[in-house]
Structure 1
Amino acid sequence: MAGPALLLVVAFLSLLAALQFGGAADAPAVFDPGAFVRYGLPVATLLGNLAAAATIGALVLVCFALSDSEPEFGRTIDIAAAAAGFWTVTSGVTGFLTFMSFDYEPVTLDSQYGAKLGQFLTGTELGQAWLATTLVAAAVTVLCFAVRNHTAILFVTLFAGVGLVPTALQGHSADAAGHDAATTSLGLHLVFAAVWLGGLLTIVLIRPTLERGRLGPVLSRYSTLAVICFIVVALSGYVNAALRVGTLAALLTPYGILVLVKVFALGSLGLFGLVQRRFLVARMQRAENRGSRFFWWLVAAELGFMGLATGVAAALAKTRTPVSQAAVTTTPAYILTGEPLPPELTFARYFTVWRFDLLWLLVVAFLAFFYLAGVWRLHRRGDRWPWYRTVLWLGGLALLFYVTNGGVNAYEKYLFSAHMLGHMLLGMMIPVLLAPAAPITLALRSIAKRTDGSRGAREWIMLFVHSRASVVLTNPIVAAVLFAGSLWAFYYTPLFSWATTDHIGHTWMIVHFLVTGYLFVQSMIGVDPVPRRASYPLRLLILLATMAFHAFFGLSLMTGTGLLLADWYGAMGRLWGQSAIMDQQTGGGIAWSVGEIPTIILAITVAVMWSRSDERDARRLDRKAERDGDADLAEYNEMLAARARRG
Structure 2
Amino acid sequence: MTQQTDVDTTQNEVTTRTVSLAHIGWIEIVLLLCVPGSVALALAGMVYTGAFTNILMDPGVLTTRGLPIARVVHDASAAVTIGLLVLASVALPGQKKVPGVVSYTQWTAARWAARSAAVWAAAAIVGLFLTASNAMGPVSSSVFTTQFVFFATELELGQSLLVSIACILIAFVTLLLTKNVSWVAFATVMSILSLLPLSLSGHAAGSDEHANAVNSLAIHLIGVTVWAGGLTALILLRRRLGSSLPVVVARYSVLAGWAFVAVAASGTINAMLRLSSPADLLGGYGLLILIKIVILVLLGLAGIWHRRRVIPQLVRHPDRPALFARLAVAEIVLMAVAMGVSVALSRSAPPVSQAPVESGDTRRGLLGFPFPEPVDTWRMLTSVHVDWLFLSAGVVLAALYIAAVVRLRRRGDAWPVMRTVSWVAGCVGLIYTTSGGPGVYGAVHFSTHMIQHMGLMMFVPPLLVLGGPILLALRVLPKRHDGSRGPREWILIMVHSRYLKVLSYPAVAGVIFAGSLVAFYYTDWFQYSLQTHQGHILMCLHFLASGYLFFWVLIGVDPGPGRPSYPLRLILLLATLAFHAFFGLAIMSATNVLAIDWWHALGYTDTAALLADQQVGGAIAWGAGELPVVLVALMVVRQWVASDERTAKRTDRTADRDGDAELRAYNERLLKIGDRDRRSGDA
TM over 0.5: yes
How far apart, in 2, do the equivalents of 1:461 and 1:309 lie? 35
Which residues in structure 2 correspond to 1:78-227 (within 5 Å)? 78-102=111-135, 107=140, 113-211=144-242, 213-227=243-257
Show the counterpart of 1:322: 351
Q: Which residue of 1 aligns with 2:35?
A: 8
Q: Which has the higher contact order (CA 8 A, sep 6+)?
A: 1
After superposition, what is the alpha-carbon deviation per residue over 1:260-289, rounded to whole angstroms, capped at 9, x for unaligned?
111111111111112112332233234314
> Letter of the aligned partner of 1:72 in structure 2?
T
CA contact (8 A) 1:258 1:312 kept: yes
Closer, same or farther in 2 for the Cα pair 1:31/1:569, shift >3 Å? closer
| Matched AA of 2:289 | V
Partner SS state of residue 377, structure 2: coil
| Matched AA of 2:253 | S
Which residue does the alignment assign to 2:476? 446
| Greater mean deviation of Cα atoms: 617-626 or 216-225 | 617-626
TM-score by length of 1: 0.93
- The answer to whether residue 52 in structure 2 is matched with residue 22 in structure 1 is no
Shift of 1:117: 3.9
In structure 1, distance between residues paired with 2:579 and 2:217: 40
Match of 1:348, SS state, is: helix
**Are 2:70 and 1:73 equivalent residues in the alignment?**
no
Q: Give the drift of 1:457.
A: 0.9
* Aligned match of 1:64: 90
Which residue of 1 is the match for residue 338 of structure 2?
A: 309
Q: What SS does the aligned partner of 1:210 have? A: helix
1:233 alignment partner, one of 260, 263, 274: 263
d(CA) in 1 for partners of 2:524, 2:600: 17
Displacement of 1:387 in angstroms is 1.7
Partner of 2:596: 566
The whole-number CA distance in structure 2 between the counterparts of 1:134 and 1:525 is: 41
**Structure 1 residues 122, 602: CA separation in 2 closer, same or farther (over 3 Å shift)?**
closer
Cα distance in 1 for residues equivalent to 2:526 and 2:488 = 35
Moved more, 16-25 or 193-202: 16-25
Partners of 1:394 and 1:174 lie apart in 2 by: 32
Which 5+ residue runs of structure 1 have no aligned equivalent?
none
- The CA RMSD over aligned residues, in Å, is 2.5
Give, in angstroms, the shift of residue 314 of structure 1.
0.2
Counterparts of 1:583 and 1:382 in 2: how far apart (Å)?
A: 54
Q: Which moved more, 1:556-565 or 1:442-451?
A: 556-565
Matched letter for residue 38 of structure 2: A
Matched, 1:50 2:76: yes
1:409 counterpart residue number: 439
Amino acid at match of 1:547: L
- Are the structure 2 counterparts of residues 282 and 416 from structure 1 closer, same or farther at C-alpha, using a change threshold of 3 Å? farther
Aligned equivalents of 2:656, 2:310: Cα separation in 1: 62
Residue range with higher mean Cα deviation, 96-105 or 524-533: 96-105
Q: Distance in 2 between matches of 1:278 and 1:561?
A: 67
Q: Cα deviation per residue 1:596-629 (whole Å; 9 max; x = unaligned)? A: 1111011111112222223333344444555525
In structure 2, how many angstroms separate the alpha carbons of the residues matched to 1:446 and 1:185?
30
Greater Cα shift, 187-196 or 60-69: 60-69
Q: Distance in 2 between matches of 1:47 and 1:431?
A: 42
Residues 1:469 and 2:502 aligned together: no
Distance 2:120 2:653 in 1: 68
Alignment partners' CA distance in 2, 1:625 and 1:294 = 64
Residue of structure 2 equivalent to 1:593: 623
**Matched letter for residue 315 of structure 1:** A
1:492 to 507, 518, 522: 522
In 2 relative to 1, CA 379–583 (structure 1 residues): closer, same or farther, beyond 3 Å? same
Q: Is residue 59–residue 138 contact of structure 2 (8 Å, CA) maintained in 1?
A: no
More displaced, 251-260 or 609-618?
609-618
Per the alignment, residue 38 of structure 1 pairs with 64
Q: Which amino acid letter does the alignment assign opposite residue 75 of structure 1?
A: T
Q: 1:413 to 1:642 in 2, by over 3 A?
A: same
Query: Residues of 2 paired with 1:611 and 1:542: CA distance?
Result: 18
User: Partner letter of residue 530 of structure 2?
Assistant: T
Of stretches 410-419 and 140-149 in structure 1, the one that deviates more from structure 2 is 140-149
Report the CA distance between 1:412 and its aligned residue: 0.2
Structure 2 CA distance for partners of 1:176 and 1:105, relative to 1, 3 Å: closer
Q: What amino acid is aligned across from residue 615 of structure 1 in structure 2? A: E
Deviations 1:135-191, CA, capped at 9 Å, x for gaps: 443443333222221111222222222322332111211221222111111111112
Identity %: 41
Residues 29-81 of structure 1: CA distance to partner in whole angstroms, max 9, x if unpaired? x6444444332221221111111111122211111112343332122112211
Instruction: Give the Å deviation of 1:561.
Output: 2.7
Give the direction of change, closer, same or farther, for the CA distance of 1:222–1:640 in structure 2 (3 Å limit): same
Checking the alignment, whether the CA contact within 8 Å between 2:570 and 2:636 is kept in structure 1 is: yes
Contact 2:470 2:558 (C-alpha < 8 Å) held by counterparts: yes
CA contact (8 A) 1:484 1:549 kept: yes
Go from structure 1 to structure 2 and tell me whether the alpha carbon gap of 1:74 and 1:116 turns closer, same or farther (over 3 Å shift): same
Preserved CA contact (<8 Å) 1:3 1:299: no
Task: Give the count of matched residue pairs.
Answer: 642
- CA 254–491 in structure 1, closer or farther in 2 if over 3 Å, else same: same
Which residue pairs with 1:295 in the alignment? 324
Partner of 2:314: 284
Q: Deviations over 1:67-125 (max 9, x none)?
A: 343332122112211211111222222233334435556727x7x55444444443444
- Quote the offset at 1:640 in angstroms: 6.4
Q: Which residue type is aligned with residue 546 of structure 1?
A: T
Amino acid at match of 1:393: W
> 1:252-291 to 2 correspondence within 5 Å?
252-289=282-319
Q: Distance in 1 between matches of 2:651 and 2:237?
A: 60
Query: TM-score, with normalisation over the residues of structure 2?
Result: 0.89
1:610 aligns with 2:643: no
- What one-letter code is carried by the residue in structure 2 that aligns with 1:479? A
Displacement after TM superposition at 1:197 (Å): 0.9
Whole-Å Cα distance in 2 between the matches of residues 591 and 243 of structure 1? Answer: 36
The one-letter code sitting in structure 1 at the alignment partner of 2:53 is D
CA separation of 1:120 and 1:503: change in aligned 2, threshold 3 A: closer
Distance 1:588 1:558 in 2: 5
- Cα 1:387–1:37 change in 2 (3 A) is same
1:11–1:307 Cα contact (<8 Å) kept = yes
Matching residue's letter, 1:517: G
Quote the Cα distance in structure 2 between the aligned partners of 1:40 and 1:336: 33
The alpha-carbon deviation at position 456 of structure 1 amounts to 0.9
* Aligned equivalents of 1:104, 1:437: Cα separation in 2: 55
> Following TM superposition, by how much is the alpha carbon of 1:238 offset from its aligned partner in structure 2, in angstroms?
0.9
Where does 1:367-382 land on structure 2 (aligned, <5 Å)?
367-382=397-412
The answer to whether the aligner puts 1:420 opposite 2:450 as a matched pair is yes
Contact map agreement 1:499 1:505 (CA 8 A) in 2: yes
The aligned amino acid for 2:328 is V
What code does the residue aligned with 1:50 have?
A
Partners of 1:469 and 1:143 lie apart in 2 by 19
1:175 counterpart letter in structure 2: G
Q: What's the offset of the Cα at 1:3?
A: 4.5
Equivalent positions of 1:478-627 (< 5 A) are 478-573=508-603, 579-626=609-656
Tell me the residue number matched to 2:12. Answer: none
Once residues 279 and 527 of structure 2 are traced to their aligned partners in structure 1, the CA distance between those partners, rounded to angstroms, is 40
- Name the structure 1 match of 2:393: 363
Residues 39, 68 of structure 2: 8 Å contact kept: no
